Amino acid sequence: MPQFDTQSVHAGYEPDATGAVMPPIYTSTTFIQSAPGQPGPYEYARSGNPTRQAFERALAELEGGSTGLAFASGLAATATVLELLDAGSHIVAFEDLYGGVWRQFERVRNRSAGLRVSYVPTGDLAALRAAVRPDTKLVWVELPTNPLLEVVDLEAVVQIAHAAGALVVADATFATPYLLKPLDFGVDIVVHSVTKYLNGHSDVIGGAAVVKDAALGQRLAYLQNAIGAVMDPFSSFLALRGLRTLHLRMARHSESALRIADWLQGRAEVSQVIYPGLPSHPQHILACRLFAKGHGGVLSVRLAADAAGVNRFLSRLKLFALAESLGGVESLISQPASMSHGSLTPELRAERGLGPELLRLSVGVEDAGDLIEDLAYALDGLGR
């Protein structure tokens, strides 16, 4: 079995008859059949497209799964996974959750499918055990969580969920298979926002789901086609091209994020640095066990400043761009309260510690010294 770095470069595609070492972008929407009812490997591009399949196979291989499916966005992947459930099903989710997933649960599927979601404090296994009921069909976990970067004991979560007959979905957008392969821990479905690290260049909106169990893979593939929120061929090509350097990017993201997190800890203007790679992180030991090769490129900080101070800090940054999203080669900074988690109610944001002083940094692959200089200049302006 080749190493991950080799798989990243080669997985999912064998040169075709032309010898092209990179997969072509097949734009054809349909494929000739030799006789009625006798299609070839492809019929219609919603149900199967060779370029999309190259990306899907590559991702499945990197995750150690049997089936990979690519979608038009991370939320399209989430929506399709939720269609596995019957109307009225119960879900248990950990509280710290991407705002868009929360919105889909509470503002869409609650109404359209009667899904009921119970939220438990992130990582609280006793609360999880107490929350699962006979009608619980799914346990939803993010790893690490967005934006508080909490880490949960995946094996224990899987054990509790499976004992109750529920599937486990892990949104591993922040980890990527370079850091963590949830299927190896017994997770049933891994979902990704391909928009982030997998594509890695902030130029594709995409999503994916990967499973190990072939029967579950067939059910999801059926839904992918039936619902139709598929990734287009051009995005699939770009996503596969991004995947080819995932190992290089994640190694650099992780190395620079750790260095920056460590440096930020020494600054008086910063009241808290949240990064699983720091010994000060409450689940640092667990994080080291789960993530063998680093702790990713996202860190969050709380500034010791009021809203005006936070705005002054943000306006002085030159390299860190104030923008939604994460996982690209360029560094970004965001304020979850007004951006990714703006869809939560103000009460929920307050309860979960998502105030204006909380900022989330996506550390890019620029020179880490330059990034630190950028942050230092902005912090120097805080008191003025």
Ligand X SMILES: *Cc1c(COP(=O)(O)O)cnc(C)c1O
Active-site residue 212, yes or no?
Answer: no
Whose CA is closest to 147, among 374, 376, 339?
339
CB of 308 to ligand X, least distance (A): 28
Strands 189-193 and 167-171: parallel
Beta carbon of residue 205, minimum distance to ligand X (angstroms, whole number): 5
Kindly state the tokens that stand for 172: 């591993």
CB–CB of 41/49 below 8 Å? no
Torsional sign, CA 133, 94, 78, 103: positive
Closer residue to ligand X, CB minimum distance, 13 or 105: 105
CB-wise, 98 or 119, nearer to ligand X? Answer: 98
Residue 130 — φ and ψ, nearest 5°?
A: -70, -25
98 noted as active-site residue: yes
The nearest distance, CB 206 to ligand X, in angstroms, is 6
Residues 6+ apart with CB under 8 A from 167: 84, 137, 138, 139, 161, 188, 189, 216
Three-state DSSP string of 215-239: HHHHHHHHHHHHHCCECCHHHHHHH
Nearer to ligand X, 7 or 122 (CB): 122
| Minimum CB–partner distance for residue 47 and ligand X (Å) | 22
**From the candidates 46, 259, 312, 316, which is the catalytic residue?**
46
- Of 196, 212, 249, 360, which is the active-site residue? 196
Q: Is 196 a catalytic site residue?
A: yes
Catalytic position from the list 26, 52, 96, 98? 98
DSSP percent split of the chain into helix, strand, coil, nearest 5: 40, 15, 45
The one catalytic residue in 26, 119, 137, 171 is 171
Q: Which residues bind ligand X (CB under 6 A)?
A: 73-75, 98, 100-101, 142, 146, 171, 173, 193, 195-196, 205, 207
Nearer to ligand X, 100 or 381 (CB): 100
Catalytic residues: 46, 98, 171, 196
